[in-house]
Structure 1
């Protein structure tokens, strides 16, 4: 993959299987990678939000990258999240990811500090200059408290600073404006626009998005690959039906209810589903997340059965 080739298709953010003692379970990670590739995905995004990147120390991040890049061996592109608070820390992660063979880097705006748009622009320019591989912006205002401006993304794309954007903002109007701006401006033919909105993929593809980065794609990669193929073939009715099936399955992310945070519930549900499907050995999530109990895991199983995944 090069900056001149637009990334497209289904690029799931790969869960990070953990052993009960909190170490990376590399055997389960290899099985998960095989499960995703056999499911028809077009790329892999490691060390993103669904990968629990915010919870992983540097040693864990390194093990994830070494394992995935080594096992994939070029079958599909591997993007690595270089996600941290400030530019110098992100550059450290990016250089390590490139050293380990990542094909591209995914970067949020800086966070913790109160950041101005001019500083966000400087951040992306610095990371792109130091990375040496395509850099994709990750628009995640719920976590980093800054919404990436469409004009900034398109300007940096036209200059070749950014290779694309993963939009997890939930702002469909702004997302559509980026797609419109890409069509109307020169120099953006290879700028990839990917949606992180896994429940409205059919709509995003109809608007002109290049692909999706679905957390639920860990559990049902075949479903998202099927949805993408149907949309690309223009069979929008069948795509809608598939999207609605995935939406019903996604309801299991609330299984933890109010006794835990939304992240604990969603990531716990993804891992419970992978555990029940025999892909990973244990549904452990990183501390301080609250784990699902036996009844909640059983409820995840009922959702899987209803979706014909068990």
Structure 2
């Protein structure tokens, strides 16, 4: 792999210390009003819903937060609201997601000023990039960021898979403080986890799975935690799953994971016949939170297609089957 030379920008050494985040870290939904403004009161209730379940950190401005749909003003409001309400009780990581390095750096400045403890950054997208450019992107961001930087591997959205050797190289250098892996590539995830053993300087690197349905498998492989969107709906279930895995009670952990896998079926109530997977999944999460009394309105950002009453009813059936209604 062609990586930038040692004369190119590198971030401050962040590896080798305490991990920035471990455990269950829900990617927090962004409740909206019917007018598609951030519903601050519902957002605060959602944060309380998650914290009271015993989660270990929060992630805002990711895919589940609908960050791609929010204006810069709305993004800042989300981080300020959550950071102010948490008051440092839990680590808060925030997405600084955009197409190119200069735009990402603007977001890093905004979210850290608003109170984020770390930032999550994808590879550049829209433009066609080379691994050397991806590595340079992360080095430039880390060099300018006042907080640790985690890589976000989500090829379905950015059309680039982060190679395991690139992630390991940047982890060993201290450029990256962690990885949120939403690639669905469990073998690649394993290469990162096992590869860290060869890099003792990366002992502070957090490896997190973004999968709702493979958390037990990822933790068995050595993951530090999980960032499952479904944890908005059932945070207690994911905290319970994490506790069982850490205790080595794999039989009960498997049963809990399978219950959550069944519940995860709610993301398909509208797709692919009427809407895209994003509209269906995010709409289902918000419908579930509305049905559970956590948020006031299940609206998703435009131009996503809203769920129909019949689809919302299906979401309710999934909740009931999981013992959540």
Q: TM-score range by the shorter chain?
A: over 0.9
Task: Return the offset for 1:184.
Answer: 2.4
- Aligned match for 2:284, one of 266, 269, 272: 269
The corresponding residue for 2:122 is 108
CA displacement, residues 93-151 of structure 1 (integer Å, 9 cap, x when unaligned): 00111111100000000000001111100110111111110100000001101110111
**C-alpha distance in 1 between matches for 2:304 and 2:72:** 19
1:172 aligns with 2:186: yes
**C-alpha distance in 2 between matches for 1:39 and 1:67:** 19
**C-alpha distance in 1 between matches for 2:88 and 2:80:** 13
**C-alpha distance in 1 between matches for 2:85 and 2:144:** 26
Give yes or no for contact 2:96–2:107 (8 Å, CA) kept in 1.
yes
CA displacement, residues 16-45 of structure 1 (integer Å, 9 cap, x when unaligned): 000000000000000000000001110000
The corresponding residue for 2:72 is 58
1:14 aligns with 2:28: yes
List 4+ stretches of structure 1 deviating above 6 A.
none
Q: Secondary structure at the match of 2:85?
A: helix
TM-score, normalisation: structure 2? 0.94
CA displacement, residues 237-257 of structure 1 (integer Å, 9 cap, x when unaligned): 010000000000000110013
- Aligned match for 1:160, one of 137, 162, 174: 174
- Aligned match for 1:288, one of 303, 308, 315: 303
**C-alpha distance in 2 between matches for 1:278 and 1:51:** 19
Q: Mind listing any 5+ residue stretches in structure 2 that lack a counterpart?
A: 1-13
The corresponding residue for 1:79 is 93
Aligned length: 309
**C-alpha distance in 2 between matches for 1:184 and 1:240:** 30
- Aligned match for 2:242, one of 228, 252, 268: 228
Task: Return the offset for 1:185.
Answer: 2.2
The corresponding residue for 2:18 is 5
The corresponding residue for 2:110 is 96
The corresponding residue for 2:42 is 28
The corresponding residue for 2:59 is 45
**C-alpha distance in 2 between matches for 1:98 and 1:285:** 26
Give yes or no for contact 2:212–2:264 (8 Å, CA) kept in 1.
no
Cα-Cα RMSD: 0.8
The corresponding residue for 2:9 is none
The corresponding residue for 1:128 is 142
The corresponding residue for 1:247 is 261
Q: Secondary structure at the match of 1:137?
A: strand
TM-score, normalisation: structure 1? 0.98
**C-alpha distance in 1 between matches for 2:177 and 2:198:** 17
Q: Mind listing any 5+ residue stretches in structure 1 that lack a counterpart?
A: none
